[in-house]
Structures are given as structure tokens and as C-alpha cells.
Structure 1
Amino acid sequence: MSKDRKQQVPKVGKSGYKPQSNSSTMTYILFGVAIVVIAAVVIGGIVWSNNDGGEQVDESQLTNTALAIGEESAPVTIDVFEDFMCPACGQFEASQGQQILEAVNNKQLRVRYHMLNFLNRSSASGDYSTRAAAAFQCVADGGEKQDVIEKFHSTLFQNQPTEGGSTDHDNKQLAEFAADAGASSNTQACISSGARVKKAEENADAAQQTLAKATGGQVSTPSVLHDGKLVTLSDTWLTDLLK
């Protein structure tokens, strides 16, 4: 991403990133044209304007690749598609994360996370998105408490490497983040060894196909689905869903 395309960070966040379907490698572009300013004087927020030519995604496609937090009996379930290298996802977590967790802890909301990895090539190691997703999978598969999963998810975005930067976090550092979040020694060992990398790759591929179906091919992160349909992310999107 060239410096001359940087934009001022809005209240909710910048629009997502999407991989180029016609490239031989998984690259991305800043989907800046998707930012739509609505009623700026009255609302002061933004909307990620997503392609509405997609289809409703079947429930079976959403449960197969999800890492979930929240009660299964919660009245509202959302599917969140992210990449741990995605700056817009980091902004989404910073601006929306606390509200999401409050709704989860109040048993109003269940969140299923789907981690993509198309920003691997923007990381210094070339595979950070996948390894971070694998670490998150280890935490989820390790029987950790919900607050550990929540904290680890937030920690990865708070310590997000710079896209195109010269360094990122190795598996040992990811395991240390998990330890700080309260994860067990077994979970830390899972992360250090890269035990869930293959599974993370498979899940990322499946998640990208699922999101492509929901968006009509315009895959970008962060994206949210509710009842298998794409949600337009405004400054009131979650409040509206919880009504």
C-alpha cells in the first residue's frame, strides 16, 4: 500500500482488505472506494459498503470453520471474518471489540470467528496470518476458558505487526502472548510447535470461499455475517442487531 493512499482513521475504521482473485498469489488492495460517508453532520460515522450481490450462506458452511465464544442459546449469532495482519481488522477490534464482548458476556450474542490468511505475503515471515490463526486455533482447541480466548484475540490485534514491515512474531512469541492471556502450558506448546498450521490453512481456504459466496466474490476483511447474510457495518450495526 503506497503512502499516498493512506487515509485518516475514521471513527469506526477503514474499509476492509480483499485478496485479488485474478492474481497468482494471495495479494490485497485497500478497498477504500467502499467507504461511504453517511449523514456525516448528524451521525459522524461510516459504513463499509459491501457488494450486495451475494447469496445467503448455509449454516453448515459457517460452523465448520468457526471458533466460537458466547452461549449457544444467545439470541443473536454473528460470523466475523478477519485476518490477524489486517490493519482494518485491528481498527475494528479497537473500536468494536469491547461492545462485542459486553454483548457476549451479557448472553446477548454469540460470535464465531473465521480467520483468513490472504495477508501472509505482507508479513516479514511470509506466513504470519496463518501462524497467528493457528495459534488462535490452539487456544480454542485447548479447552481454554472464554475469557482466555477473548484476551488472546484482542492481544494479537493489539500487538499486530506492521504490514510490509521487517519483523513479525515467531511461534515462541505467540505462545508467550497466550501465556499472558492465561493459556495452559499444553496450549502454549501447541502454539510453539505450529501444530495447528495445516488446520488453519484449510480453515482459511474454506472461510474465504464462504465469504466469497456471501459477498458475490468481493472478499474483504473485516466482514460480518448474520443469519448467513452480509451485514453493513455502520456505527450502530451491533446495536441494531441486538434490538
Structure 2
Amino acid sequence: MSKSSSNRTNPKYEPQAASNTSSYVLIGLGLLVVAALIIGGFIWQSSSKDYPPVDDKVLAENASFIVGERTAPETIDVFEDFACPHCKEFEEQSGQAIMAKVDEGKVRVRYHMLNFLDGESESGDFSSRGAGAILCVARSDGRDAFWNLHSQLFEKAEGDPSNAEIAKLAAAAGAGPQSQKCIADGAAVEDARTMADASRDQLSNSTGGEVSTPTVMSASTVVDGILDGTGWLDELIANPPKS
């Protein structure tokens, strides 16, 4: 099965365990049921596990990048994966609108770059390496460099660029030499993986175990309609959910 056909079987881009169709035929119907439960792990577990409340401190500490004033009346958490085509669509639809609201002081945004789609890239780790690159920029550069590189990585995801190529993209995006070296060396990738795991756990707590990208969360509540244009953002600012 090609990677593109694999994506179509998982349109919500939820993390799932791998399966082996040929083994299902050999082991019979009884184990098929067990395998199905494993495949749907993030969803099926939601009925048998109690999830703790979302910890805002954990979200703040594990955001890949934060933009906007602390005094902004609304804070949102955006969960994305660079290998997720729907995340690219979300960026194309809402990226500029989010930037505008940040500039107006109306919203503070915490970006969480997840990596459960690493296996969809030829390298097997593009999501993690992209998240690491963003973390390098977060530690050394400003928001313009972040936003530029963030958009570029979605555009270049299908080509699965190397660390060296991502470093060049970062340079063109306005990142300085320190960030470029950090990206080329893959120096922040492991930190990015750790942060992605922590962020994914908090998203899972909010949804009762269902994790998908893109997702926007406000006051521990998932925001609806984020792929239907930018109306979700205006509605959120006008009528924020209660904490």
C-alpha cells in the first residue's frame, strides 16, 4: 500500500497502531477482534479509562512555540503534524487570520507540533525533525521566522526534506545561524519528541482518548469547524468557552 492510500484510510489523522492484513487471515476470527481493538487503541480505550483534567501548565511548558501577548483575552492551543495534509489545509485557510488576531492583541497561540505521522514520510521521522526545527527557531529567533518556516514545512512536507534542506528553508525564513546549525544537526529533535508526547497526552485528556490533527483547543475544549474557513476564530473570540 502506498503512503497516500494509507492516508485516505485515516482521514482524521488519528494515531493508530500498525496492522498486518496477512496475519489476520492466518490467525482466525478470534484474534481479528483483538487486533481490531489494538488498531483503534486511542479510541477504544476512551470507554475504559478515566482521563484527568487538562493541565494548562503542561500545555504551556510543552508548546513548540508561543505567539501573542500574555494579556490577550483568549489563549488557544493548536495541535498539528507537519506530515498531515489537513494541517496544511488548516494553515492555508486560517494561518493569516490567526496572525492578524495575534497582532491585534486578541489571541495568544500555543503551537504543539505532534509527530504520530512520522511513519508517513520516507525518512520515517519528518514530523519529529520538523518539530525539532521549529523548536530550534523558538529558542533563538522571533515569531516571523517561526511563522515563515512553519508555513514552508507544510509546503515541503511531501518532499521529505533533509535536516540540511530544512536549515536552508529556515535561513530563507529569517532564522539566524544558531538556529540553522541546530536544525542541521538535529539537536532539538529528541526534545521535540518529548514535548510532542506531553502535548498529545493533554489533548487526549481533553477528548477522552481521541487524538487527531489539526485540532484547536480553548479552555480545555476542542473547537469545532476549524476546517470550514475562519469563522471559528471570530466565533471563539466573540464567545469564548467557559473554563
Aligned to 2:31: none
Whether contact under 8 Å (2:134, 2:149) holds in the other structure is yes
TM-score, scaled to structure 2: 0.77
Whether contact under 8 Å (1:28, 1:118) holds in the other structure is no
Aligned to 2:60: 63
Aligned to 1:118: 116
Say if 2:75 is the partner of 1:94.
Answer: no
- Name the CA distance, whole Å, in 1 between partners of 2:81 and 2:110: 14
Counting helix residues as a fraction of each chain, which structure ranks higher?
A: 2
Aligned to 1:159: 156
- Name the CA distance, whole Å, in 1 between partners of 2:111 and 2:134: 10
2:157 alignment partner, SS class: coil
Partner amino acid, structure 2, of 1:109: V
Aligned to 2:233: 238
Give the RMSD, CA atoms, in angstroms.
Answer: 2.8
Whether contact under 8 Å (2:152, 2:169) holds in the other structure is yes
Whether contact under 8 Å (1:28, 1:119) holds in the other structure is no
Judged with a 3 Å threshold, the aligned counterparts in structure 2 of structure 1 residues 96 and 126 are, in CA distance, closer, same or farther, namely same
Map residues 118-137 of structure 1 onto 2, 5 A cutoff: 118-137=116-135
Identity score, percent: 43
TM-score, scaled to structure 1: 0.77
Judged with a 3 Å threshold, the aligned counterparts in structure 2 of structure 1 residues 183 and 61 are, in CA distance, closer, same or farther, namely same
Judged with a 3 Å threshold, the aligned counterparts in structure 2 of structure 1 residues 23 and 230 are, in CA distance, closer, same or farther, namely farther
Larger Rg: 2
Aligned to 1:19: 15
- Name the CA distance, whole Å, in 2 between partners of 1:196 and 1:212: 24
Whether contact under 8 Å (1:135, 1:196) holds in the other structure is yes
Aligned to 2:241: none
Say if 2:182 is the partner of 1:184.
Answer: no
2:181 alignment partner, SS class: helix
2:110 alignment partner, SS class: strand
**Cα deviations by residue, 1:94-114 (Å, 9 ceiling, x for unpaired):** 111111111111111111011
Shift of 1:232: 1.2
In structure 2, the gaps of 5 or more residues are 21-37, 41-49, 239-243
Judged with a 3 Å threshold, the aligned counterparts in structure 2 of structure 1 residues 2 and 239 are, in CA distance, closer, same or farther, namely same
Judged with a 3 Å threshold, the aligned counterparts in structure 2 of structure 1 residues 213 and 23 are, in CA distance, closer, same or farther, namely farther
Shift of 1:156: 1.1
- Name the CA distance, whole Å, in 2 between partners of 1:229 and 1:141: 28
Aligned to 2:146: 149
**Cα deviations by residue, 1:170-193 (Å, 9 ceiling, x for unpaired):** 000110111011110111000000
Shift of 1:160: 2.1
- Name the CA distance, whole Å, in 1 between partners of 2:235 and 2:53: 19
1:20 alignment partner, SS class: coil
2:71 alignment partner, SS class: coil
